[in-house]
Amino acid sequence: MTKKPRLWITRRLSDKTLERADRDYECVVNFDDRLYSTDELIEGSAQFDAILPCHSETFRGAMLDKLGTRLKIIANHSVGVDHCDIPALKERGISVTNTPDVLSEATAELTFLLMLGAARRAVEGDTLVRNGQWDFWSPAFMVGKQVSGARLGIVGMGRVGQVLAKQARGFNMQVHYYSRHRLPPEMEAGAHYHSSLDSLLPVSDFLSLHCPATPETTGFMTADRFAQLPDGAVFVNAARGALVDEDALISAIERGKLSGAGLDCFVVEPGGNPKLSKFQNVFMLPHIGSATRETRDAMGYRALDNLDAYFAGQTPKDLL
């Protein structure tokens, strides 16, 4: 009987994912769902053939020199891989995969929640009703910003950006986008391409980020960039917190340049930025863009598909 590869699942994944993993691998699962230290990740790398981590585990920097030689593949339960130094891992003979495609719908869906929540003053309205303070109404009461018919600017027209654009058309929004590469006309579906952010920002009544965090994009939403948006714009980020200069964002909110913001990610996670909590026009969620049962199952299965292919001597579909 062939010995099963030894797999370390570093966070608690969906029940269906764990059932399948236990069937095909010799598994050790972090049922306590605590965050492992760097030293524990190094120690584990010498005891397992594969690690199935999330974005919360980091494989970068000096710790890579200490990784055990037994570890052959890191099959990430995430699309983003900025927590992994892929070239350095490859040099050590360690394959890296991710889970694209399967979370696009859920993340775009949550992006629309952020957009609507910020535009229609959801935090302020919920607080009024929840605290028993709703004792007044007039035509001027709780007037927000209309999403339907507005101009939506998308930064990064990858999988999530394209799904968001499709959803936006259902609200009769005019879609504009900036991306490294222009989509073919049939994929644009009427969206307006911009070759630069300088062109996109001034026409974005709503601006939504959907690009990865790279050395080129880290902190790219600066005070100058926020200043280029139309007055009263709504800013949405369901991609990566590192894309945004949060002090510049706060300044834009304080000055009234932005009428609201919807945020699912922050520079510091978990925790977020407490300075943003004082604003009733900032709708915030704790990085749950892909957090649906269906998507969590699909992400887990996609990671296991990559592991299955690797240990069968095949090239994983999502090899990076």
Say whether 57 is catalytic.
Answer: no
* Residue 136 contacts residue 113 (beta carbons within 8 Å): no
Q: How far apart are CA 133 and CA 274, in angstroms?
A: 24
Question: Does the annotation mark 287 as catalytic?
Answer: yes
Which stretches does DSSP call E strand in the chain?
6-9, 26-29, 50-52, 73-75, 95-97, 151-155, 174-178, 192-194, 206-209, 233-237, 258-263, 282-284
Nearest 5 degrees, angle CA 61-CA 66-CA 71?
A: 105
Two tokens, residue 195:
């070759």
> Whole-angstrom Cα distance, residue 7 to residue 232?
50
Catalytic residue, chosen from 121, 194, 287, 296, is 287
Which candidate, 264, 200, 261, 254, places its Cα nearest to that of 234? 261
Q: What is the largest CA-CA distance in the chain?
A: 75
The question of whether 210 is a catalytic residue gets the answer no
Catalytic residue among 240, 246, 296, 302: 240
Out of 26, 124, 188, 269, the active site residue is 269
DSSP-assigned letter for residue 286: S
Q: Measuring CA to CA, which residue among 24, 37, 111 is closest to residue 75?
A: 24
What is the set of active-site residues? 240, 269, 287
